[in-house]
Amino acid sequence: MLKSRPPLWTVSVLTIPQREEFLGRLFDGLREIRWKRPWELLVVYNWDTDEEPYAVERRLRKLAKKLPLSVHFNTRKPTISGGRTQQLALCKSPLICFLDDDLTLHGELFDAIEDRLRSLPVGIVGIPSLVEDTNKLFKPRRSTPHVDAHGMRFMSIQGMLVAGYRRLFQDIGGFNPRREFWGEWTEMNLRMWRNGFPTGYVMDAGYLRHWHGAPESPTRNKPGRQDHVLWGLLCTALEYDAIALRPDTERFWKLVEERYLAYSFGDGVGPRELLGSVLRLVPRLAIEWPHIAEFREGARKHPFQFAPFHDITEDDLAEVMEYAERHVARYRRTVWGRSRSSLVGR
């Protein structure tokens, strides 16, 4: 009796009960993809629901129809970082793709993702997204500094679809538990670059549509989001030695001042609102301080010391890719056996 091959890919989705309508659209797109290799769909229900788990699972299986679905529940600490950690822990395949639940998929995305991972020494890759049913590019923003090379746009990948090697995610430490509801991908990308693994978008392989009407978004409409954003910024400054204004931290502080404070608190944020948020976070900061200090000591040993929101240059990319070429082989072998030569330097 022939044994079926184990999945090469795990497509993992974090969801909550308010988003099942959007989840159904995502499932429709996954059914349209022509999968050349075995894969599985793993959904983590990131909510402390009073519903019986089997009732939820039956409903999701009805949405998924014949997709190779498994359903798991994160009820103990259903933060985004907690859910992401569970997604990674549940994955058994060598390749993992984290998908947001408010997307639709367009094009044969996974063939192109697999090709880039196989041919380039990269850590994680993403796919561009459009705003709902328009032609307006949502991510990556055209104004964000980037380097175009080797058929990719190298820069930080801001969630939605993030694909890479399961073992690499684990080896660099998994998801930062302090990014509970904001900034988990920003911090993960920074850690990838600092550990010598570039990240970027595949710009010629289809696209996503991002549907902004999904409720409970930490970046758009979640109550208390200003505290979540400020907490992520505080932890970033402390963990990556960005407290003082220096040439290398200037972009971090500029983005805090010009984008993130207004983004989280609204235009015209005043000292009263800002101080109130800081004071609410002080007890939490005291509890987390030993962990932050330990993390900072580890970060000081990273092979590349990029500051948060560093503008990657062509020279940076060349140096990091040369380093990655020597270190990505063990992850490629897990997937493809003997890896083919990289495009770098051709």
As given in the structure block, the two tokens for residue 161 are: 């679809």
* pLDDT in the model for residue 346: 42
**pLDDT 10s digits, 76-104:** 889 999 999 999 999 999 999 999 999 99
Q: How confident is the model at residue 339 (pLDDT cuts 50, 70, 90)?
A: low
Q: From edge to edge, which strands make up the β-sheet containing 207-210?
A: 103-106, 207-210, 129-131, 137-139
pLDDT at 75 over 60: yes
pLDDT mean over 270-290: 93
Beta-bridge mates of residue 41: 11, 69
The domain locations on the chain are: 9-210, 225-299
Instruction: Name the E strands within the chain.
Output: 9-15, 39-45, 69-73, 95-99, 103-106, 124-126, 129-131, 137-139, 147-149, 152-154, 161-165, 199-202, 207-210
pLDDT mean over 322-346: 79
Distance CA 328, CA 87 (A): 22
* pLDDT in the model for residue 345: 44
pLDDT at 337 over 90: no
CATH classification (class only), 9-210: alpha beta
pLDDT mean over 33-44: 94
**pLDDT 10s digits, 169-178:** 999 999 999 9
As given in the structure block, the two tokens for residue 208 are: 């996503």
pLDDT at 2 over 70: no
As given in the structure block, the two tokens for residue 119 are: 């041919």
Q: For the chain, percent helix, then strand, then coil, each to nearest 5?
A: 45, 15, 40
Task: Note whether 181 and 191 are within 8 A (CB).
Answer: no
% of the chain beyond a pLDDT of 70: 95
Closest CA to 178 of 81, 267, 105: 81
